[in-house]
A and B are shown apart, each in its own frame.
Chain A
Amino acid sequence: MSDTTTAAATSVAPASTETVLSVENLKMHFPVKGSGVIRRTVGHVKAVDGVSFEVAKGTALGLVGESGCGKSTTGRMVTRLYKPTEGKINFEGTDIANYTGRQLHPMRREIQMIFQDPSTSLNPRHTVGSIIGAPLRIHKMVPKDKVLSRVQELLEIVGLNPEHYNRYPHEFSGGQRQRIGIARALTLQPKLLVADEPVSALDVSIQAQVINLLQDLQKEFDISFLFIAHDLAIVRHFCPEVAVMYLGKIVEIGDRESIYERAHHPYTQALLSAVPDVKQAAIGGRRERIRLEGDVPSPINPPSGCHFRTRCAIAKDICSVVEPPLLQIGKKHKVACHFPGEIHQHPEKPVTAPLLGVDEFGAPDPGASPAEVPGDGPGYADTWYDLANNSRGRA
C-alpha cells in the first residue's frame, strides 16, 4: 500500500490552485418531529454543523469519519440533493446553496455523484443502456439516434463490454455495477464528482480496480473529486487533501502529509492508530493503539464546547466551555483543538485561549485582546499560527 501511496503522491501533485468548489459554514439540521397529529418540531439532528472546505481543480478532497458524522450529508448538500439549512456552496464562483429546481437544472451537468451501493443505485427495471442514456435524454445533449453510440463509448471508457448495453443491472457483478454507476455520472461530463463511499460495498480485490479507474478518469477528464470514505488507506491513496469529520464538524483538514504523518487532533490520531500497519507488523513492532471510549454522542444534543471532548483523552476544562476554532497551523493544515500537537506532545495550556480572549479555563478574560483566528474560512491563509513559537507566522 505504502509503495503505491508514494507513487501516487508524486504523480498526482496538485497541478493548479484554481478552486472548483468552496463550501462555507455549511449546516444541515434535520427537524425531529414529535408524534401525534400536529407533529411539532421537538428538536434538530445537527447532521452537519458548520463545515468549510475547498476543492481545487483536478484534485480530490477526502472526507473521512465514523458512520453518522455527516460526511454523506455533506456530499448530498454539495450535489444539492438536500437543501442546506445554512451556509454557502460556491461552485465556480456562484453560490448554489439556495438554488431552486429550475436554476439547478444546468448545474446538474457540472456536479455528479457516485453512490455507495451499486445494487440500489441502479434501477433494476431499466437496461444499462437506458440507465446511462437517461442523462443524455434528460438534458438533450445528443440527438436521439446518437444516444446508443455515446452509451457504448461510455461503457468502453469504464471498462465494460459495449455490447452489453441491453442487459439489466442484475446480470452484472458488484464491481461492474459500480462501473455502470460511474459511467452514468460521467455521461454529463461533470467538473466535480462527489463519490459517496464508492468502494465500501465492494470486495477488497475489486476496490483497487475501481479506485484505479477513478484515478484514470480524473487524469483523463480533469475531474475534481469530493471523495467520501471511511477507509483511511484508500483516502490516503486517492486524495492529496483530507478532511476529518466528527459529529457534523471538520476537526482536522490538511494535505496528505500533514494528516497522515503529523496529525495534531486527538481524534485523527485515534483513527490513524486503528489502521493496521503492515510494515510495523513485519518488524514485529506494535504501534500504540489509542482506544476511544464510549459512543458518538447524539447529534440531536451534541456536547457543549468541543464535540469530541466526551471521548477525548486530553480534554480539560476549557473544552466544555469554548468550542475550538479551526486553527491553521501549517501551510496546508488546520486543526480544531485547544491542545493541538502530535501524540504525547500536546501542549499544557490551550493555545487557542489568547486568540479567543478567554483564560485557560474558558472564562472570558477581560485583559486579553481577541485576535483574528488564522485559517477562518474555506481556504488556507498565507500566514498561520506557529505552534513552536506560539506566535503568528510562517514556517
Chain B
Amino acid sequence: MTTPGTQVEISEIAVETAATVTGPVVSKSPTQLAMARFRADKLSMFSFYVVVFYVIAAIAAPILVATGVLDPFTPHQDLIDEQSLPLHPFGGISLEHPFGVEPRIGRDSLSRIWYGISFSLSISVLATLIAVVIGVVLGIVAGTSGGWIDAIIGRFIDLTLAFPQTLMLLALSSVAVAFITTVLNVPEGPSAQFVYVVSILGLFGWTSTARIVRGQVLSIREREFVYAARLLGARPGRIYFKEILPNLWAPILVQFTLIMPAFISAEAALSYLGVSVRPPTPTLGNVLTDSLSFMSDNFTYFIIPAVLIALIVVCFNLLGDGLRDALDPKSGR
C-alpha cells in the first residue's frame, strides 16, 4: 500500500487480482488482509499446523488417559533389566510402547510425553493468559492516564524486571505451595504445584506486554481519528473500546504467541529446579529432567521429549513472527 515491501506487496497484489478475477470486488478488512498475507507465508502456515497438532494432542490426552488408551502411570517391571534400563534396544521401543519405556519402573514413554504435552501446554496457556491480561490492563492504564500513574507503573515494571525471580521462586516454593493448599483450598500435590507454577510465570511475565501496549496506546491516542471521535462527542468508553482497542488486537495477539513458547521452556527449566509440577504427574519439563540422568545409557528416552519441546517452541515463535509480519507489514524483521 504505502511502503513497497517486496514479498508482502506481491502476495497482496496476488490476493487482490484473485478477488477481481473471481467476481465482484470483495471488500477486505485489515484483519482479512493480514490473514491472506499469513496464509501466503508457507513457513508460518507450517508452524501453524504444528501448533494446531500439538493443541489437538493436548486436548485429546486427558480423554485418552481416562479411556485407558494412554497409560502414563502403570509400571512395567518385566521390561526393565538389572541396571534399571529397558530390556529392548532404543529405550525399549516396541509395538506396545512406540516411544519405549521409562528406565527404572518401565512406564510407557509415549503416554507420559503425550500426557505431559497436555500439562505443559495448559500451564503455559494459563500463565500466558494471566501475563497478557495483566500486561494489557496495566499498559492501557499507563498509556491512557499518563502523568504519575504512568510513572508508577513504569517503576513497577522496572522493579518486576529487577526482581531476582528464580532465586525467590526456589526459596518461596514450599511456603507458597503451602499457602495455595491452605488458604486457597487447592488439593495438595500436583494441583497446588500446577497453580504455583502458573501464577509465578504469569505474575512475572507481563512486563513486555505492558510496555508494548503502553507504547501502542500512546501512539494511537494521538492519531487524528481519536480526536475526530472526541469531536463527534464520543464518550471515553466508546473511544477506548471502539477506536483504540481494535487497533491493539494485533500486537496483543503477537505478544501471546511469543510469550507462550517462552513459558513452555520456562516450565522445563523450573522442572529441572524442582518447582514445577512433580512426577508422577508428567509434564514435558519433568520428563526431560528425568531423562537427563540417563542421557548416555538411554539416549532415546532423552531425545524424544527434547525434540518435542524444541519443535513446539520453534513453531510457536515462527507463528508469532509470521503473525507480526502479516498484521504489520511495515515492520521489518
- Residues of A near any B CB (own CB < 8 A): 37, 39, 76, 79, 81, 104-105, 108-109, 112-113, 115-117, 119-127, 134-135, 138-139, 164, 166-168, 170-171, 181, 184, 188
Question: In the complex the two chains form, is B228's CB within 8 Å of A121's CB?
Answer: yes
**Are B246's CB and A104's CB within 8 A?**
no
Contact of B233 among A76, A119, A139, A167 (CB under 8 A): A139
Which residues in B have their C-beta under 8 angstroms from that of A188? 232
Within the assembled complex, what's the spacing in Å between the Cα atoms of A124 and B243?
9
- B224 touching A138, Cβ below 8 Å: no
Q: Interface stretch among B24-32, B99-107, B303-311?
A: B24-32
Residues of chain B within 8 A of A116, CB atoms compared: 224
* Nearest residue, chain B, Cβ from A81: B227
Interface string of B80-92 (1 = CB under 8 A from A): 0000000000000
Contacting residues of chain B (219-272) with chain A, CB-CB under 8 angstroms: 223-225, 227-234, 238, 242-243, 246-247
Q: Are A125 and B234 in contact (CB under 8 A)?
A: no
Residue-by-residue, is B1-38 near A (CB-CB < 8 Å gives 1, otherwise 0)?
11000000000000000000000000111110100000
Complex interface: chain A residues within 8 A of B27 (CB): 127, 164, 166-168, 171
Residues on the A chain within 8 Å of B229, using CB: 123, 134
Complex Cα–Cα for A184 and B234 (A) = 13
Instruction: Name the residue on B nearest A114 (C-beta).
Output: B228
* B224: nearest chain-A partner, CB-CB: A121
Closest chain B CB from A4 CB (angstroms): 29
Instruction: Flag whether B151 is at the interface (Cβ < 8 A).
Output: yes
| B231 with A125: CB separation less than 8 A | no
**Interface majority SS (helix, strand, loop, mixed), chain B:** helix
Q: Can you list 6 A-B contacts (CB < 8 A)?
A: A76-B227, A79-B231, A113-B228, A116-B224, A120-B224, A123-B247
In contact, A135 and B224 (Cβ under 8 angstroms): no
Known: A37-B151, A125-B29, A168-B27. A108 touches B231 (CB 8 A): yes
A138 to B229, CA, bound (A): 10
Shortest beta-carbon distance, A209 to chain B, in Å? 21
| Distance in angstroms between the alpha carbons of A121 and B225 in the assembled complex | 4
**CB <8 Å contact, A122 and B225:** yes
Q: B230 — nearest CB in chain A belongs to which residue?
A: A81
Q: Across the interface, which residues of A come within 8 angstroms of B33, CB to CB?
A: 170
A124 contacts across to B, CB distance below 8 A: 30, 247
Number of interface residues of B (CB under 8 A): 27
Minimum Cβ distance to chain B for residue A300 (Å):
21
Taking the closest CB of chain A, its distance from the CB of B21, in whole angstroms, is 17
Contacts of A117 in B (CB 8 A): 224
A183 to B151, CA, bound (A): 40
* Sample of 7 more A-B contacts, CB < 8 Å, known A79-B231, A115-B228, A121-B227: A104-B233, A112-B232, A113-B231, A127-B29, A134-B229, A138-B233, A170-B1
Contact between B247 and A184 (Cβ–Cβ < 8 Å)? Answer: no
Minimum CB distance partner of B155 in chain A:
A37
Q: A123-B247, A124-B247 are in contact. Are A115 and B233 (CB under 8 A)?
A: no
Taking the closest CB of chain B, its distance from the CB of A172, in whole angstroms, is 11
In the bound complex, residues from chain A placing their C-beta under 8 Å from that of B246 are 123, 125-126
Q: Which residue of B lies closest to A38 (CB)?
A: B148
CB distance from B223 to the nearest CB of A (A): 5
For the complex formed, measure the closest distance between the CB of A327 and the CB atoms of chain B, giving whole angstroms: 35
Q: Assuming the A-B contacts A81-B230, A108-B233, A138-B238, are A168 and B30 also in contact, with contact meaning beta carbons closer than 8 angstroms in the complex? A: yes
Query: Would you call A170 and B151 a contact (CB within 8 A)?
Result: no
Q: Which of B147, B225, B231, B233 contacts A123 (CB 8 A)?
A: B225
Q: Are B232 and A168 in contact (CB under 8 A)?
A: no
Q: Is the CB of A125 within 8 A of B228?
A: no
Chain B residue at smallest Cβ distance from A106: B233
Q: B62: shortest Cβ distance to chain A, in Å?
A: 38
Complexed CA–CA distance, A124 and B225 (Å): 9
A-B interface, 3 closest residue pairs, ranked by CB to CB distance from nearest = A121-B224, A108-B233, A125-B246
- For B232, give its contact among A76, A108, A170 (CB under 8 Å): A108
- Give every chain A residue within 8 A of B243 (Cβ-Cβ): 123
A201 to chain B, nearest CB (A): 11
Q: Which residues of B contact A122 (CB under 8 A)?
A: 225, 228
A124–B227 Cα distance when bound, in Å, is 14
With both beta carbons as reference points, the residue of chain A lying nearest to B233 in the complex is identified as: A108
Task: List, in ascending order, chain A residues with CB within 8 A of B232's CB.
Answer: 108, 112, 134-135, 138-139, 184, 188
A109 to B33, CA, bound (A): 35
A81 pairs with B233, CB closer than 8 A: no
User: Which residues of chain B are within 8 angstroms of A119 by Cβ–Cβ distance?
Assistant: 2
A125 with B247: CB separation less than 8 A: yes
Contacts of B233 in A (CB 8 A): 104-105, 108-109, 135, 138-139
